[in-house]
Amino acid sequence: MPKTIKKVGVLTSGGDSPGMNAAIRAVVRTCAYHNIECIGIYRGYQGMIEGDFKEMGPRSVNNIVNKGGTILKSARSVEFRTPEGRKKAHENLVKAGVDALVVIGGDGSFTGGLIFNSEYGFPVMGIPGTIDNDIYGTSHTLGYDTALNTVVDCIDKIRDTASSHNRLFFVEVMGRDAGHIALNAGIGAGAEEILIPEEDLGLDRLLDSLQKSKASGKSSSIVVIAEGDKIGKNVFELKDYVEANLPEYDVRVSVLGHMQRGGSPSCFDRVLASRLGVKAVESLIEGKSNYMVGLQADKVALTPLEQAIKGKSEIDRELLRVSDIMST
């Protein structure tokens, strides 16, 4: 018989993303709907170790669905990576009467939850929260859609300046290991070239592409670059290389940085967070553990945490083809 769940703990860990608050709200209110207690764990796994808990009810999550970031805060916890740290965390959860955990975060957060479960048999359910959209088992992670809209809005503004001054802009977006933001936002914003970690465009092809753009009559260009792209050591060295080889271009760099993580979540992210939060709690009630709730073919589905961690989120090859056609 599965363990009866009477109290659920919810935490956010790793990098924040728009939609985390909406997911917290969904977890808390789903618990209330099923007459289960809920506690918020502040500062992720570090808060578990320090016993930084707060009882949460339906009214404690009023007016947060529209807020970016996370009201529960987030922190990296070196101590939780040790058996001693996890032992303290477990003792605090038992003392507080917590029966199961909902972890909102990325693969690092899920890895911590999986190890914790293996040591203590503690039920864990994951909700993917990261703007990079780089987690296997879901077509969308929380915050990804909002980040895309933020990036497209920024590039639209940059294009106004690029067109006014006949400039080439390199716009660097987040995506150390995955080019989902760069690829989708690049297509959406009409970028002339998109550089992502999954595809090594090469310097020669980039120069050739920019020369063709110039010859075709384009007076300004936007190149979107994922921060993990392998074509240059960094975007500023790439700028210097292009200026040295194509002196006719006036090149500027814009690094969008952490503004991509902030802001009010889009409607899509709010609805997704609500769906995933409900599924996470109800799956724990059903006796399930060590799963991530995600979106597959627009349906909420469960993926084993181990698969979510080890699997690779693939780039859409059809979108690469679309990008090539659109840059003509």
| CATH level 3 topology of 145-261 | Rossmann fold (3.40.50)
pLDDT of residue 285: 97
Task: State how far the Cα of 207 lies from the Cα of 230, in Å rounded to an integer.
Answer: 15
pLDDT of residue 232: 61
Q: If you ran DSSP here, which 8-state letter would residue 80 be given?
A: G
Task: State how far the Cα of 243 lies from the Cα of 241, in Å rounded to an integer.
Answer: 6
Q: What b/e readout covers 253-271, taking b as 16+ CB neighbours within 10 angstroms? A: bbebeeebbbbebbebbbe
pLDDT of residue 234: 83
pLDDT of residue 219: 61
> Coil, strand, or helix at residue 162?
helix
CATH number given to 7-143+265-310: 3.40.50.450
pLDDT of residue 2: 63
**Do the domains spanning 7-143+265-310 and 145-261 agree at the CATH topology level?**
yes
pLDDT of residue 1: 46
pLDDT of residue 221: 85
pLDDT of residue 127: 98
Query: Which residue ranges make up each domain of the chain?
Result: 7-143+265-310, 145-261
pTM of the complete model beyond 0.95: no
Annotated binding site for substrate: 130-132, 167, 174-176, 227, 252, 258-261
pLDDT of residue 105: 96
Tens-of-pLDDT digits for all 328 residues of the chain? Answer: 467 899 999 999 999 999 999 999 999 999 999 999 999 999 999 999 999 999 999 999 999 999 999 999 998 899 999 999 999 999 999 999 999 999 999 999 999 999 999 999 999 999 999 999 999 999 999 999 999 999 999 999 999 888 888 788 999 999 888 899 999 999 999 998 899 988 876 777 788 888 877 777 666 689 999 987 767 668 888 888 888 888 888 889 999 999 999 999 999 999 999 999 999 999 999 999 999 999 999 999 999 999 999 998 888 889 989 988 887 7
Q: If you ran DSSP here, which 8-state letter would residue 44 be given?
A: H
Say whether 16 is catalytic: no
Please pick, among 132, 134, 229, 269, the residue that the annotation labels catalytic: 132
Residues in contact with 227: Cβ distance below 8 Å, sequence separation at least 6, in sequence order: 172, 173, 174, 175, 176, 235
Annotated binding site for ATP: 15, 76-77, 106-109
C-beta separation of 226 from 196 below 8 A: yes
Annotated binding site for Mg(2+): 107
